[in-house]
Structure formats: structure tokens, C-alpha cells
Amino acid sequence: MLKIAIPNKGRLSEPTLRLLNEAGIKVDSGRQLFCTSGDVEILFVRAGDIPEYVRDGAADLGITGIDMVKESEADVPVLLKLGFGSSKLVVAAPKSSNLKSRKDIKSGMRIATEFPTLTKQYLKKIGKRAKIVKVSGATEITPYLGVADLIVDLSSTGTTLDLNNLVIIDCILETEAVLVGSRKYAKSPLVTALKSVIQARGMRYLMANVPTSKLELVKKTIPSMESPTIIDLAEKNYKAVHTVVKASQVHDVIHNLKEIGCKDILVLPIERLVE
């Protein structure tokens, strides 16, 4: 049975459950520590522990953030970027301070963070010395409490930092949710299913009846993954054209097809897309 470790809470938990559900993995997300769906066992663990579990073989696959993978320093391959959980690991300072950029970081300053490894690497990279204060949550309040001069924390929109009178002075890395695991599972049915769901997002299946005389023009006009599918119709003056387009292109494609003289245009969502 294939084992996949997923976050038991936090910003990646709900999107992960939705992705698995769309991939046909029905997850009972109650208070249990694990559950099964078909031939897949789902383990609910801390996002920060997932890289080590995968590295040590306790789980075959895992879903976590790039930040967690780098913080753990676990040597685990990233098999797939999942398209959610985008965020930045940033250095932030109180608005009332004179700290405007990394150049203003001085020796002896205290930096509160849940990411001591990445913070240490960052300080080494920029040639600065500072005291790292490891915390396990509520990082934003530490400057107000006098515990730290700066913080290193994840920020998606900057709203939380702004509400706590903090301003970003540098970005350490950009992160998102990823699937990690041994490369021997890269072509497993579960990975294929997850990839097909991700590839289908933002794509639409478009069908139109095209005048035979305009077929070559339509083939040059509409975007497609490879080439559109052409199907004969009972009405000899028309051909059915099927293709896959980006959702953002649908409006323009429909307009162009109507201008050419196409009819019976139909657009459908795509659940899975396997290249």
C-alpha cells in the first residue's frame, strides 16, 4: 500500500485535501492520524516533519511546502509542483525602526523565526551576524514584546505583517506546495492522477462546428495543445473541431470563431488532463 503524508493542519491542509479528492482519493479528515482510500494510506502529520518521514521511508510520498523541505535539509526529490500555497519567506522589521533593507541588519540584533536553518543560511549569505530566537508560532508579536528586533516568517499578502506594524525589508525565498518522494514513485498511479488534476486546472475543452471552407483558417486561428481534433459531420458543409484551450483564452477564441462563421460552440470544464 502506498503511503502519502499530508499536513494535518495549517495553510496547506485544506487545499491538499481538495486536490486528493479531485484525484479520486477520498479522505476522511476527522481527528484520526491516518486513513485509507483504496490502495493508498494517508498519514496526517506536521508539515515540517513530512520531508524527514519521506527521507526515512516512513512515507513514500509527501505534500508540504518548499520552505519546509529546505528548512529540514532533507535530501528528498520534488516530484511535482502543486500550484497552491504560494508564499514568501521574508525578513520583516517594525515600521517604527530605521531598518529598510538587509544592509541595516546589525551584529547582535535578534531575529525571531520558526525557520532557524533558513535564517542562518540567509545571514551567512549576506555576511551578517545576528542572534536567532526560535519560536513556534505568533512570530509577528515578538518585536512588540521586545523579544526580537526582526522576524523571518512566511507572508502571502503582507496583510498580517501590516496589521502588526511590520514591514518587509528582504525576501529569502518563494515557496509553494510540492509533492516529494522517491523517484521510483514518479510514475505511480497516484502521482499520475495528481498531475492530471493540476494540468486540467485553468484549461477548457472547446467544441465548434466549422464551415469546411474555413477549416484551415480555424486550425491556424485557435490555440491547441498539439493539434485540434477534426470530426466529420452528417452535414457535409461543416466539420466538428475539438480542442483544449486556456480558460483565459476562451472569450477571444469564441469571438474569433464566430467572426469566421462557426456555430454550435460549446465549452466544458476538464477534470483530468493527461499529456
Question: Quick one: what percent of the chain has pLDDT higher than 70?
Answer: 99
Predicted local distance difference test score (pLDDT) of residue 224: 72
Give the full edge-to-edge strand order of the sheet including 177-181: 34-37, 40-45, 2-7, 61-65, 177-181, 78-81
What values do phi and psi take at 210, rounded to 5? Answer: -115, 135
Quote the CA–CA distance of 241 and 228 in Å, as a whole number. 6
Q: Is the pLDDT of residue 274 over 90?
A: no
145-186: pLDDT as tens digits: 999 999 999 999 889 999 999 999 999 999 999 999 999 999
74-87: pLDDT as tens digits: 999 999 999 999 99
In this structure, the strands spanning 78-81 and 87-94 are: unpaired
Domains in the chain (CATH in brackets) are: 2-83+176-199 (3.40.190.10), 87-175 (3.40.190.10), 202-269 (3.30.70.120)
Question: Quick one: what percent of the chain has pLDDT higher than 90?
Answer: 84
Long-range interactions of 257-262: CB distance < 8 A, separation 24+: 257/208, 257/210, 257/218, 257/221, 257/222, 260/210, 260/211, 260/214, 260/217, 260/218, 260/221, 261/211, 261/214, 262/208, 262/209, 262/210, 262/211, 262/214, 262/218
Give the three-state DSSP class for 15. Answer: helix
Q: Is the pLDDT of residue 31 over 70?
A: no
Quote the CA–CA distance of 159 and 23 in Å, as a whole number. 32
* Structure-block grid coordinates of residue 225: 495543445
